[in-house]
Chains A and B, each alone.
Chain A
Amino acid sequence: MDSATKKYTIGALVANKSGVLTRISGLFSRRGYNIESLTVCATEDPDVSRMTIILIGDEYMLYQMIRQMDKLEDVKKIGCANELDCVYRELLLAKVGATAEVRSQITMINDVYKAKVVDLSIDTMVLELTGDPEKLDAYLKVIEPFGILEMQRTGVTVLARGRHTLKDRDCYGDHVN
Chain B
Amino acid sequence: MKTPDRANDIEGDNTMKMKGADILINGLLEQGVDTIFGYPGGTVLDIYDALYRNGKIHHILTAHEQGAAHAADGYARVTGKVGVCFATSGPGATNLVTGIATAYMDSVPMVAITGNVGLNMLGRDSFQEVDIAGITMPITKHNFIVKDVKELAETIRRAFYIASSGRKGPVLVDILKNVQIAECDYEPEKPLPAKQITIDEKRLDQAAKLINDSKKPLIIAGGGVVASRAFDELKALSEKLDAPVTYTLMGKGALADNDARNLGMLGMHGTVAAARALIASDCLIALGTRFSDRVALNRELFANGKTVIHVDVDNAEFNKNVPVTLTVLADVKQCLKSLTPKLDEKKSDWMKQAKEADGKKDAIANVRAYDILKTAAELAPDDSPLITDVGQHQMWAAQQYPMNKPALFCSSGGLGTMGYGMGAAIGAAFGTGKLCVLVTGDGCFNMNMNELSTAVTEGIPLVILLMNNGVLGMVRQWQKIFYQRRFSQTTLHKKTDYIKFAESFGAKGILLDKDDDVRAKLKEAFDYAKDTCSPVLVDCRISCDDNVLPMIKPGATYETQLKKMEEN
Contacts and interface: CB of A to CB of B under 8 A. Distances in A.
A73 interface: yes
B316 A177 contact: no
Interface string B451-480: 000000000000000000000000000000
A69 to B, nearest CB: 9
B142 interface: yes
A74 B325 CA distance: 31
Contacts of A175: 315, 318, 327, 329
A173 B318 contact: no
B327 A177 contact: yes
A19 interface: yes
Interface string B297-324: 0000000000000000011101110001
B316 A64 contact: yes
A72 interface: yes
B12 interface: no
Chain B interface residue bracket vs A: 20 to 34
Nearest to B206: A177
B326 interface: yes
A12 to B, nearest CB: 15
A7 interface: no
A26 interface: yes
B359 interface: no
B134 A22 contact: yes
Interface in A136-177: 173, 175-177
Nearest to B327: A177
B121 interface: no
Contacts of B315: 67, 70-71, 173, 175
Nearest to A60: B319
A41 to B, nearest CB: 23
Given A22-B137, A177-B326, A177-B327, A73 B316 contact: no
Contacts of B329: 173, 175
A127 B90 CA distance: 50
Interface in B311-353: 314-316, 318-320, 324-327, 329
Interface residues of A, number: 19
A54 B201 CA distance: 35
Interface string A36-79: 00000000000000000000000010011001101111100000
Given A68-B316, A175-B315, A73 B138 contact: no
Contacts of A177: 318-319, 324-327
Given A177-B325, A177-B326, A73 B162 contact: yes
Interface string A70-106: 1111100000000000000000000000000000000
B133 interface: yes
A73 B133 contact: no
Contacts of A30: 138
Contacts of B326: 177
**Dominant SS among interface residues on chain B:** mixed
Contact of B316 (A23, A26, A71, A176): A71
B115 to A, nearest CB: 19
Contacts of A176: 318-319, 327
B137 A26 contact: yes
B161 to A, nearest CB: 10
Contacts of A70: 315-316
B141 interface: yes
A176 B200 CA distance: 13
A23 B162 contact: no
Given A19-B133, A23-B137, A72 B142 contact: yes
Nearest to B161: A73
Contacts of A68: 316
Contacts of B320: 64
A23 B141 CA distance: 11
Contact of A63 (B319, B324, B325): B319
Nearest to B134: A22
Nearest to B162: A73
A67 B137 contact: no
Interface string B119-141: 00000000000000110011001
Contacts of B162: 73
Contacts of B142: 72-74
A26 B420 CA distance: 27
Most buried by B among A67, A73, A177: A177
B157 to A, nearest CB: 13
Contacts of B314: 71
A71 B162 CA distance: 11
B388 to A, nearest CB: 28
Given A19-B145, A68-B316, A177-B319, 20 more contacts: A19-B133, A23-B137, A26-B137, A26-B138, A63-B319, A64-B316, A64-B320, A67-B316, A71-B167, A71-B314, A72-B142, A73-B141, A73-B142, A73-B162, A74-B142, A175-B315, A176-B318, A176-B327, A177-B318, A177-B324
5 contacts: A26-B137, A30-B138, A71-B315, A74-B142, A177-B326
Interface of B: 133-134, 137-138, 141-142, 145, 162, 167, 314-316, 318-320, 324-327, 329
